[in-house]
Structure 1
Amino acid sequence: MTEPLSMDAGAATVSKPVTFDRWLEHFRANPAHHRLIEADIEWDARSNLDEPTRQAFINSFQRFELGESGDGKRLLSKAALEGDPTYLAALELLVREEQKHSALFRRGLDHLEAPSLKAHWSDAAFTVLRRALGLRTELGLFLIVESVSMGYFTALAERAPDPVLRGIGLRIASDEQDHIRFQIDRLRQGFRDTPRAGRMLIGLAWGVIAGGAAAVLALDHGPALRACGLSPARYWRQAMVGFRRASRSVLANPGAEPMGPLAKDYR
Structure 2
Amino acid sequence: MTQHDAPSTQGFGIWTAYFEANLARHDRLDALIPWHSVSPLPAADLAAIARSLQRFELGESGDGTGLLSKARRRNNPGYDWALRLFVAEEQKHSALFRAALVRFGTEPLSAHWTDGAFVALRRMLGLRTEVALFLIVETVAMEYFAALGRCADPVVQGVARRILTDEVEHVRFQIDQLRMGFERTPRPARLLAAAAAWVLAVGTATVLAVDHGAAMRACGLSPVLFWHRALRHFGRALPLAFRLNREETPFGPSAQPSGDRLGRAGRVPARV
What TM-score do you get using the length of structure 1 for normalisation? 0.90
Kindly report which structure 2 residues correspond to 1:11-160, keeping only aligned pairs within 5 A, or say none: 18-157=10-149, 159-160=150-151
Correspondence for 1:191: 182
Unmatched 5+ stretches in structure 2: 1-8, 261-272
Question: CA deviation digits over 1:173-231, x for unaligned, max 9?
Answer: 01111111001001101001111111111111110100000000000100111111110
Determine the C-alpha separation between the residues in 2 that align with 1:258 and 1:67.
30
| Deviation >6 Å, runs of 4+ | none
Greater RCO structure (CA 8 Å; 6+ sep): 1
Aligned residue identity for 1:237: H
Distance 1:214 1:257 in 2: 25
**Following TM superposition, by how much is the alpha carbon of 1:259 offset from its aligned partner in structure 2, in angstroms?**
3.4
Unpaired segments of 5 or more residues in structure 1? Answer: 1-16
Q: Which residue of 2 aligns with 1:13?
A: none
Are 1:188 and 1:254, in contact at CA under 8 Å, matched by a contact in 2?
Answer: no
The answer to whether the 8 Å contact 1:185/1:260 transfers is yes
CA distance in 2, matches of 1:121, 1:256: 38
Is the counterpart of residue 243 in structure 1 residue 237 in structure 2? no
Give the Cα–Cα distance (whole angstroms) in 2 for the partners of residues 262 and 196 of structure 1: 27
2: CA distance, partners of 1:85 / 1:177: 25
**What is the aligned partner in structure 1 of residue 258 from structure 2?**
265
Other-structure match for 1:11: none
TM-score (norm 2): 0.88
**Distance in 1 (alpha carbons) for counterparts of 2:21 and 2:32:** 19
Q: Partners in 2 of 1:212 and 1:83 — Cα distance?
A: 34
1:217 alignment counterpart: 208
SS in 1 for 2:49: helix
1:144-179: per-residue Cα shift (whole Å, max 9, x none)? Answer: 11110111111111x112011111001110111111
- 1:171 is paired with a residue of what secondary structure? helix
Matched length? 251
Question: What is the identity percentage for the equivalent residue pairs of Structure 1 and Structure 2?
Answer: 51
Q: CA RMSD in A?
A: 1.7
Rounded to whole Å, the distance in 2 between the matches of 1:210 and 1:141 is 9
Greater shift in the superposed pair: 33-42 or 60-69: 33-42
* Mapped partners of 2:82, 2:259: distance in 1: 18
